[in-house]
């Protein structure tokens, strides 16, 4: 996805409702993924952070919380389908419990 497409997606995102949206971001520990995390956190979304690097995930979590949002850290290698399924179940359960 190009930077222009990401900007358009951010403009189209509806994150200003009365309830916080939940966003799942892969590659959340660095680079473009981390930038996307910051953009959604600034809009008040709660974010599920997926990536392999625990240190980067913790850094992203701290940034999200500093912006007043909530984050769930799930270390996972998205190349492993079973691990991704487990991460999805974990995220779903956490979101379901909050409602």
- Res. 19 pLDDT band, cuts 50 70 90: low
Q: How high is the pLDDT of residue 75? A: 95
67-87 CB burial, b ≥16 within 10 A, e <16? bebbbbbbbbeeeeeebbeeb
Rounded to 10°, the helix 31-42/54-66 angle is 20
Compute the distance between CA of residue 13 and CA of residue 7 in angstroms, rounded to an integer: 10
Distance of CA 68 to the CA centre of its chain: 14
25 has pLDDT over 60: yes
H or E element, residue 48: strand 46-51
Chain segment 34-77, per-residue pLDDT in tens? 999 999 999 999 999 999 999 999 999 999 999 999 999 999 99
Q: Which residues pair with 75 in a beta bridge?
A: 51
**Mind listing the domains of the chain with CATH numbers?**
24-98 (3.40.50.720)
């Amino acid at each position: 996805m190009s930077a222009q497409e990401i900007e358009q997606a951010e403009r189209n995102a509806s994150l200003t409702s009365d309830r916080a949206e939940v966003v799942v971001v892969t590659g959340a520990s660095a680079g473009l993924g981390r930038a996307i995390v910051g953009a959604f956190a600034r809009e008040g979304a709660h974010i599920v952070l997926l990536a392999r690097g625990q240190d980067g995930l913790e850094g992203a979590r701290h940034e999200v919380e500093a912006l007043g949002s909530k984050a769930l850290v799930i270390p996972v290698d998205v190349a492993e389908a079973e691990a991704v399924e487990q991460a999805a179940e974990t995220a779903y359960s956490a979101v379901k419990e909050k409602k």
